[in-house]
Structure 1
Amino acid sequence: MTTLANNLNFAETQLDVLSGTPRAHAIDRWIFVLMSAWFIAIVLAGFIPDSLMKIDAVTAGERPPFPLILHVHAVLMGSFLLLLLAQAWQIATGRSAQHMRLGMVAMVLAPALVIVGFILAPTMYHMLWDAAQAAPLGEREEMLGGLEVRENILLLQLRVGILFSLFLSIALKARSRNAGMHKRMMFLATAMALPAGLDRIPWLPHSMPQSPLTPDLYTLLAIAPMFVWDVMRNHSVHPAYVIWLAVNIPFALAVHGLWDTPVWHQTARHLMGVG
């Protein structure tokens, strides 16, 4: 009887049918680790070449040094992505207690990231504004054109700051009572910040700065592996995706509607205190 049971158990492990198999359960565990690594790869692919180019420009005296708040933001964002990877790894390897303890770091790291982001956006804007005011007349018009691009990007930054905060709050609130909502919303919240890296990947086709279309499309593609696996595995769409999309759509419509309009440029300058 024992031999027969062992043979049956061995046979079950060889099944390649999706639902209820060891292979499917393994993907359930590791899909979020892979998504964490995927998000980090996106950020690195965008920011490494962009940062090297800007460092060369600073060294050549073609642009001012990076402000301190930019370095703080980079450290916090990098730490958050590594935390996401560590948390997913701990769940995949059965270290739930360590996962919960380390999760307390997110309670501090996430608000700090949001606060620093809302400081960084006006800091970078004012650097460009001050440079435009001090530039010779011939260069000023060109720099003011760059300022309008920066004002459009502010729309995306506002959207990211608001929705990242909202989705992360949902994720953290669900952590003790709805693990499925918690883990999915953690990744969907993080995906809101991915356009900053995606827009810097030099070999991707972009609609920026003329249109914010590609940031939206590439964000959808970035979360696609997790979403497709969920639908294949569960034969339904998890409520986390419904919430994420339902909240995102009106914000996306607002961004596209205001993009590069005189009303938005005037509003942005008032928000930045230079109107």
Structure 2
Amino acid sequence: MATVAGTFSFRDKRPDLLSGTPRAHAIDRWIFVAMAAWYIAIVLTGFIPDAIGMVAAANAGLRPPLPIILHVHAVVMGSFLLLLLAQSVLMATGRCELHKRVGIAAFALVPVLVVVGLLLAPTIYREFWNMAQTAPPELKAKLQFRMLMLNDILLMQIRIGILFPLFMGIALAARGRNAGLHKRMIFLATAMPMPAAIDRMHWLPNTIPASAVGTDLYILAAVSPLFVWDIVRNRRVHEAYWIWLGISLPFCAVV
């Protein structure tokens, strides 16, 4: 990861209007704050209605009780997103030194988030599988369809468990040496777990469980505001996007 960050640190000396140069446009300062808020909005839109439904279903005996690890994951992921928002605001308001000090928390929070996520996925899968074995006939058909969904979700969780820490590692390795790569890769890494929220928006057209293409397109849509503004201001595709796509596409093809 450090090798990747180091390789790109000195390759491109062209100005980056979103970092490291005087920012002539107010959006250059606040686009990352807007992206953090946008990610939080996606997560809340996906998870709040689903959480209400899960609690009601658990109370009615239509799904297993909510495991403790699910609540832990919600707290850790929420903390990470709030850290992302706070860090973006600190940079937008010029408090760089405080940003660097607060950012140390990411070195602890990211590994915890990865471990909790890896524990959560098989826990949910196992609970539904156990319930499907003993469910009455009228409920078994619904649970079997849910298991098909969980098969796809489990594969996607494995992909997230690999790519999120990889991209976040590249971002943290670039910290202090390549501000442009660091900040963009932070947001591109954070987009990787977004399917957890997107796939809960059942009103969105999607290709799940037939394929993950629909979800992958929504990930691209989630990062598109930053990408579009980047192109408008810098007139080029920043190296961070090439790294992100180059590593992600093979995983998307497999899963």
- Aligned-residue offset at 1:138: 6.8
Match of 1:204? Answer: 204
Match of 2:183? Answer: 183
- Report the AA paired with residue 33 of structure 1: V
* 1:145-169 per-position Cα deviation (integer Å, ceiling 9, x unaligned): 4323211211111111110010000
Q: Please give the alpha-carbon distance, in whole angstroms, between the structure 2 residues aligned to 1:92 and 1:139.
A: 52
Match of 1:102? Answer: 102
- Aligned-residue offset at 1:213: 1.4
Q: Which has the larger radius of gyration?
A: 1
Higher RCO (Cα < 8 Å, 6 or more apart): 2
Please give the TM-score of this superposition, normalised by the length of structure 1. 0.81
Q: Name the count of aligned residue pairs.
A: 237
* 1:34-86 per-position Cα deviation (integer Å, ceiling 9, x unaligned): 00000000111111111111112223232222100000001011110110000
Q: Which runs of 4+ in 1 moved over 4 A?
A: 136-142
Match of 1:214? Answer: 214
Q: Please give the alpha-carbon distance, in whole angstroms, between the structure 1 residues aligned to 2:159 and 2:23.
A: 38
Match of 1:246? Answer: 246
Any gaps of 5 or more consecutive residues in structure 1?
Answer: 1-18, 256-275
Whether the 8 Å CA contact 2:148–2:209 is kept in 1: the answer is no
Task: Report the secondary structure of 1:208's partner residue.
Answer: coil
- Aligned-residue offset at 1:102: 0.7
Task: Report the secondary structure of 2:104's partner residue.
Answer: helix
Are residue 118 (structure 1) and residue 121 (structure 2) matched?
A: no
- Report the AA paired with residue 225 of structure 1: P
* 1:180-199 per-position Cα deviation (integer Å, ceiling 9, x unaligned): 10000000000001111111
* 1:13-51 per-position Cα deviation (integer Å, ceiling 9, x unaligned): xxxxxx89x884321110000000000001111111111
- Report the AA paired with residue 181 of structure 2: M
Match of 2:66? Answer: 66
C-alpha change, 1:221 and 1:24, in structure 2 (3 Å) is farther
Match of 2:133? Answer: 133
Whether the 8 Å CA contact 2:64–2:131 is kept in 1: the answer is no
Match of 2:236? Answer: 236
Match of 2:34? Answer: 34
Q: Please give the alpha-carbon distance, in whole angstroms, between the structure 2 residues aligned to 1:131 and 1:158.
A: 23
- Aligned-residue offset at 1:176: 1.4
Match of 1:158? Answer: 158
Match of 1:46? Answer: 46
Please give the TM-score of this superposition, normalised by the length of structure 2. 0.87
Q: Please give the alpha-carbon distance, in whole angstroms, between the structure 1 residues aligned to 2:165 and 2:114.
A: 7
> Structure 1 vs Structure 2: percent identity of aligned residues?
57
- Report the AA paired with residue 103 of structure 2: G
- Aligned-residue offset at 1:142: 5.1
Residues 135-150 of structure 1 aligned to structure 2 (within 5 Å): 135-136=135-136, 140=140, 143-150=143-150
Whether the 8 Å CA contact 2:194–2:219 is kept in 1: the answer is yes
Task: Report the secondary structure of 2:63's partner residue.
Answer: coil
Q: Please give the alpha-carbon distance, in whole angstroms, between the structure 2 residues aligned to 1:141 and 1:53.
A: 19
Q: Please give the alpha-carbon distance, in whole angstroms, between the structure 1 residues aligned to 2:132 and 2:78.
A: 31
Match of 2:173? Answer: 173
Match of 2:4? Answer: none
Match of 2:55? Answer: 55
Any gaps of 5 or more consecutive residues in structure 2?
Answer: 1-16
Q: Please give the alpha-carbon distance, in whole angstroms, between the structure 1 residues aligned to 2:32 and 2:45.
A: 20
